[in-house]
Structure formats: structure tokens, C-alpha cells
Structure 1
Amino acid sequence: MPTKKITIDSKSVFVHKAILKPDFNKKSVLVDNPWEYVELWIKRQTNSNNALFYWQQAHGFYQATKQLPKTSSPLTAYYCFLNATKALLEIRNINYMDRHGVTGNSTGIASLSNENIKFQANGILAELSRLLGEPVNGEIFTFKKLIYNLSYIHRAYKLTYSSDPELFYPISDPHFVKIQNQNYAYFQAEITSEFYKNKNTINKLPSTLERDLGNPDKWIIRKKKRFKWVNGAANKANNLSRLTNYHKAVRTDIHFIYGSIDLWYFKRTGFGNAINKNSLTITFALMHRLSELSRYNPVRLKKHFDCQHNWLLSEFINLAPTQFIYTIACEITGQEFKIPGVRK
């Protein structure tokens, strides 16, 4: 079927980093860091003094995190995440119990498989999960299983635990196209890496995606489900509403890594170790567990840095603050953030 990229005000529509309220009309925000921009946005776009205070608190903890060693920094990193999440909940007018919403415990020797994390039914993390459309039913996961499900740390995970299957597969140009002469559109992207252009990759697609066999010279993947898109300025509001709902479903399977050049992936599903959770909730829960160890059992935390997974933990502690804050900044504002001065 011949298709054409859908556009809004002559601008092609690509997959957005924000899930909750992506603003497809706005241009990307080019900043070295999102702190001052989001603070200004909260002042201009909301009347929430609480949200502003929590965002400023998060910034303070973020700065402290950068100065601390890896056995201490999880504590301030977690409180950065906690306050940034509170800012988001305040802006979305979500009532929440002022408790963490997550807890953990240790068993046996210092191993990622022996650190257990429970998602509780109430609290900050529970409301973030509900806001993102995730189930909240007291699930318990090991630290190892949760960190396995993070795109931005997956390469480090695979180098540490090489026997576990790959979860994230790179894609390029994730966007939306309209079927010509029809009022329907859908998501599509391309597999451009020669290493992944094979049937094995296609077999790992989640059930919601398929290869577009109408273009055999390229490895195009697309979402099976369509949504209504009617050309014309009079249909803009309805088109945007349908696109936003459809986009949220797309982002269940499509994940990104923030960096100088944004990287997008589809996530393999359908087997036991794949968890259908957003990177925000996973990162929040993992850093909470490390903060518990930092506070109550720092000797055990130190032992984790004497194990096989030392580098994996170090990479998580180094990368998580940036990934979390940029992602939640997108959710707070509905806008895209990019590092200035970089072109594809």
C-alpha cells in the first residue's frame, strides 16, 4: 500500500519521547540540561508552588549526586527521582500518599538475583505507575530482572550476563504514515543495522508489530493496528486526539535512549523475563533499592561492587540520573528535549 508521512502544520510526525501528553505541535527544546527550562515552564504554565519546590529540590539532589562516590550517590539520586516524580504528580493533579510506594529486601549472598523489590499499591511510585497505565498489584521482582528491562543499560547488562537473550533491537526513523486514498494511518520504522536485518529479528517482534512485506528491499516494521487520520485543518483536533491515544500504545513497545543522538528500539516481549513497565518506574524502583542499601546496609552495597556485576551497577548509577530526569522532563512539559549542536 502506498503511504505518505503524516504532517501537522507541514511538519512530519515522529514518535515522541513523552507518553502522557505529547505536544506534537511544538519544536524540540535544545538545552544542555532541562532544569532551568522546566522550572520556567512550571512557573509559566502552572499555578503549582508545590511542583516548583519539588523540582528545585530534585535539582539540588541531582547536583549532590554528581559529587558523591557510588556507595553514597544512590541515596541522593533516589531523592532526586522522588521529588521530580512528585512535581509531575502535582502538575497532573494526582492525589498520592506521601510514601515511597516501593520496598525491598535481601537474601543470601550479594547478588542482583538476591535483591528483591516490591511495587506497593500506594505511594509515589504506585501513582506514577497508574499515571503511565501500568498495573499496580504488589508485584515482586529481583533487581537483576528489572535492570535487564532497561534500554539504556541493556548493552552493559549483556556484557555482564551474556547468556541472557537480547531484549532491545535498534530501529531508525520511527514515524507515522497515512495510507494514500484512505483515512487511516499507522506507525512504522526501519531496521537499518546490517546485523539485525534478518528473520531472527523479525521473529522477536512483539505481537503488535509486523514486517511490511510490501517493501522487500527494506526492513520496514509497522504496527498492525491503524488509527483514523483525516486530512484538512478542520480535522486537526480530532486527529491529534486519536494520534495521542495511538501513540501511547506504540510507546509500550518502542523505547528510547537519551543522548547526543537519540536511539530508538523495539522491545522483545512474550517470555518470562520481559517486564511491561516504563523506564521511569523501573529506574525509580531500582534506585530506591540501592538507596536502602546505602542507608541501612552499606557494607552489603560495597560487596556488590566487588562482584561480577560491579561495572553494570556503576553504569546504572552513572546513567540513570540523566535518563530519568530528561524523560520526566518530557512528561512534565509534553515537549522533546535534545542536546544542541548535534545533527544526524
Structure 2
Amino acid sequence: MPISRITASSKPISPHKSFSSPDFKAKAAHVSGRFQFVEMWLRQGDAECRKALVYWKQAENFYKANEAVDELAKPLTSYYCMLNMCKALLVCKGQDMASVQHGVSGYSIGQKTALSNEIVKFKFSGVLPSLSKFFEEPVAGTDEHNLSDLLYNLPHIHRAYCMTIPSRKNRELFIPLYDCGFFRVGGTGETYFRGSLTRGWNVGRTKKKLPKGFEVDPHSEIGELSVRKKKRFKWSGASETKKIQNLQKYHRKLRKEIFQIYDSPDCWYLKRSGDPEATDGVINKAPTVIAFAALHRLSELSRYDPDKLSRHFNNRYGWLLSEFLGRTLDQVLDDLTSEITGYEVQ
């Protein structure tokens, strides 16, 4: 049967940056400053949104300060910028962050200066576990991950990671997809997500690398391969409100598997899982949660052991740390701007 892309308000529907409250009908917001856009949105919101303003302004101040400090101090300003962005998100969604602990700690093992020897412990309560719950992740209070694996699981620096860490040079964790959308099977209400493989991944062996629950779409165009999610949802026989609700429920699960990079808006990245080549080092948490944890550990080193932090930067993977610190705040700012407002912000 033929397939066709679904629309809302005459607009083709694509995956949305917002995990929690995507507005699929709204047009994208083109803004010159994300901090200013979110501030405007919070000021026009309810009491909880206005409470979040102080954290959002703090985040903006740390963002500006971050541009003026060197690499040994940057983890501190970066972390406190992100901490306040996340607090603003949680407060405007109804949580009180006034006296909440950070919910994360770290320590080193061994004598060698190595990313794999920097351990991050996820606690049961605090900002970080609250962030995990926001993204509907289980919170055990016993999870521990090393800094190397945390960085490996971040889409926005993943290519830099694989270029820097020899043992994972040929073990890319994310499959790039373009022209992503939701397609309805003709004559039925069955609808699914699909995206086309980019050059380099448009080969037969990619089938073996797809995560569980995904497959090659038999409706792929000649000469191309498209990937689809096996799970379907209904897009017919109901009011538009009900159809959007079905889409939102489907989308929340999908967004745990696909991610976007702020400076590559035409691509979504499907995270591999389930095959032996990819499972080593995989962390099934949202990139925002992972980035928070990694920044916290680097900020601890900046505060308490700047000599060791300096040795990390002087190691062969120092460029990777610089890329992480140089790109992460813009990535998180882009993600949380959409998460707070529900808009696609460009």
C-alpha cells in the first residue's frame, strides 16, 4: 500500500524538539536570542513560570561569564549555567527547587589520569534525579558511570569522541536520519515514524545495526533506504484532538530513541542498542541528564583538583573535553528552550 505523510493545520508533522509538551500545530519560532525568548515566555506564564525566572536569569549570567574564563574554570561556569537552566525547567513544570540538592557526586579510581577513572554517582533525590524523572527514566539511586562512557553517549560530541578515543573509532552509536516524519499507510489509520539514511549509512549492513523495534521501511525509494519504527499509532476515525493525543503518546516514546543536534537541525540521530558491537558503554538516559552528570564531575575537578583537571586537558583526549565544554551549553540551551515553551525554536 502507498504511504503519505500526515499533517496538522496543513503542516507536515515531523519529530519535535520538545519531549514533554510539543506543539505540533504551532509554527517554528525564529529568534535571535533563546534566553530572551524564554524569559518573555516565562513572564507571560502562570505563577510557577514566573518563579522560574530567577533561575533562568542566573543561567544567562553564567552563560555570559563562561565566555570569559579559561578551560580550567569553564567547567564551573558551565555547570552552574546548566544547573540553573534545569532548575528553571523543573520549577516551571511545578517542582520546588529552592532547597534541593544537586543529586549527583563523583570520585576518582586508580592512579592513572583517565576519563574512565572519573566516576559519577547518580543519587536518589535532587536536581539530577528530578531531571531523570522528568524524562520518564527510572531512578534507582545506585547508578554509576565513568566520564568516558558519559561523553560517548552524547550526540552533539559523538563524532569528536569517536575521532579521539581509538578503541571506539569505528563504533559510532548514533545513526543519522534525514527527511524524518510520520507516515500513514494508505487506506488505514496505521501510522509510523520513519527517516531516510544519510550517505555512508545507506548500505545493506546498516540493517544489522538498527536498534530493537526498528526496521528498514519496505516503502523506501529506489536507491535509498529508509528506517521506520515498527510500533504504530492511529491517525484516523477520531477528532483532530484525539489524533494529536495519539501522536503525542507515541512521540514521547520515540524521543527516547532519537535526538537532534542544535547546529544540524535537518538530522535526527537514532541511538543504537541491542547489538553486541554497540551495547558496551551504552547509557539509556536522556542527553540532558548525561551532560548534567558529566559537567558536574568536571566542575568538581575544577573546584577541588585543578591540577588533575589540567592533566586531563593535556592528555590525548584534551580536545574532546574542549569540544564538550565549547558545545554543551548551546546544545542544552536549544533543548530546554523548546522543552520549556513547547515551540520549535530556530
**What is the TM-score of this pair, normalised by structure 1?**
0.94
Matched, 1:56 2:57: yes
Q: Deviations over 1:52-79 (max 9, x none)?
A: 1110111001110111101101101111
How far 1:200 sits from its partner (Å)? 2.0
Give CA-to-partner distance per residue, 1:196-223, whole Å, 9 cap, x none. 1112222111111100124362201101
How is 1:223-234 mapped onto 2 (pairs within 5 angstroms)?
223-230=229-236
Write the deviation string for residues 164-198 of structure 1: whole angstroms up to 9, x where unpaired.
111011110110011111112110110131x1111
Identify the residue that residue 133 of structure 2 maps to in structure 1.
Answer: 130
Deviation at 1:272? 2.8
Contact 2:104/2:123 (<8 A) preserved: yes
Aligned residue for 2:29? 29
Corresponding residue for residue 147 of structure 1: 151
Partners of 1:57 and 1:219 lie apart in 2 by 46
Q: For residue 166 of structure 1, what is the amino acid of its counterpart?
A: E
- RMSD over aligned CA atoms reads 1.4
User: What's 1:190 paired with?
Assistant: 196
| 5+ long unaligned stretches in structure 2 | none
The aligned runs of 1:68-217 (5 Å cut-off) are: 68-95=69-96, 98-107=100-109, 108-137=111-140, 138-164=142-168, 165-193=171-199, 195-215=200-220, 217=222
Q: Contact conserved, 2:179 with 2:266, CA < 8 A, in 1?
A: no
Give the Cα separation in 1 of the matches to 2:62 and 2:295: 13
SS of match in other structure, 1:245 = helix
Q: Which secondary structure does the structure 2 equivalent of 1:80 belong to?
A: helix
Amino acid at match of 1:190: S
Give, as a single letter, the amino acid of the residue that structure 1 aligns with 2:261: I
| Counterpart-to-counterpart distance in 2, 1:305 and 1:73 | 12
CA distance in 2, matches of 1:206, 1:236: 31
Selected match of 1:237 from 241, 246, 268: 241
- Is the partner of 1:30 in helix, strand or coil? coil
- Asked if 1:258 corresponds to 2:223, the answer is no
Aligned structure 1 segments of 4 or more residues deviating by more than 3 angstroms: none
SS of the aligned residue for 1:141 comes to: strand
CA contact (8 A) 2:180 2:194 kept: yes
Label 1:201 to 1:162 Cα distance change in 2 as closer, same or farther (>3 A). farther
Separation (CA, whole Å) in 2 of partners of 1:110 and 1:29: 44
**Counterpart of 2:63 in structure 1: which amino acid?**
Y
Q: Which residue of 1 aligns with 2:45?
A: 45
Question: Equivalents in 2 of 1:327, 1:58: separation in Å?
Answer: 14
Shift of 1:236: 1.1
Q: Distance in 2 between matches of 1:14 and 1:117?
A: 35
Identity rate, percent: 40
